[in-house]
Amino acid sequence: MRTKAILGALLVAMLLIASPVMSGLAAGKKGGATVVGKDPDGDWGTNADPNLAPAGNFLGQELLGASIGMADAKTFNLVIKVASLPPWGGIPEASRYNWDITVDGTAYQVTGAFTEYLRGVCNPLHTGACPPPQDPGPTPFFVRQGPCNVGADCYLLGTVSATFDPAAGTITIPIPLSLVKAKPGSEIGPGVTTLGGTVYATPAVMVTNAAVPNDTMVVTGTYVIPK
């Protein structure tokens, strides 16, 4: 009888401890990120040579998924999931990540890297004159209004700092709503990159070349900013 009482007390205690944890998981799921795209593992570099796939992990460029969620009431996150991310977040000045989105039908491009000094100081691909030389800061991603294809007008709207998480294999890019004229109820949809698909990861310095081994991902889902 005493043993049953002890077991009963332990069970109640476990339920009390688990309750807030379970509530937190439910709340996180409800307000968490929405998966909008997936990509198979092991397909990096197949546009050039199928045997190159293992190098995608070393470079941090093997794409697996894409998700969108709110960071806070004024910012949404674009989250790129990769199979492996080096502790330094990718080979500096060599791994570029790009995500083309639409916000209520208007095209925007989000492109950057763990370090991006060559483009960050003065990017000749931006329409208009280069700004005065400047430090782009850590993990810079440039938000541009497009469509940002060759020969098209592409205006730099601002620079944001992404978070590279090697343990989770994620790159989280915060986008202020005001920067892309988004508001509660706005729909974030997929755009089309210069390499095809919606998201790409590739070795690049100043200019991105489609002939270089890369990985692309097609995003099919959309995300609506909560009201």
- The 10 Å CB-count burial string (b at 16+, else e) for 124-145 is ebbeeeeeeeeebeebbbbbbb
What CA–CA distance (Å, rounded) separates 111 from 118? 13
State residue 133's pLDDT score: 60
User: Does 91 score more than 80 pLDDT?
Assistant: no
pLDDT tens-digit map of 32-87: 799 999 999 999 999 888 889 999 998 999 999 999 999 999 999 999 999 999 88
User: Does 98 score more than 50 pLDDT?
Assistant: yes
Percent of the chain exceeding pLDDT 90 equals 48
Phi then psi for residue 173, to 5 deg, are: -115, 110
Report the candidate in 100, 73, 97, 103 with the shortest Cα–Cα distance to residue 223.
103
What CA–CA distance (Å, rounded) separates 11 from 202? 52
Phi then psi for residue 206, to 5 deg, are: -90, -50
pLDDT band of 99, cuts 50, 70, 90? very high
Is pTM beyond 0.85? Reply is no
Mean pLDDT of the chain: 79
**CA-atom Rg of the chain in angstroms:** 21
User: Does 179 score more than 80 pLDDT?
Assistant: yes
Pair 81, 169: CB distance under 8 Å: yes
Pair 226, 30: CB distance under 8 Å: no
Report the candidate in 80, 87, 89 with the shortest Cα–Cα distance to residue 114.
89
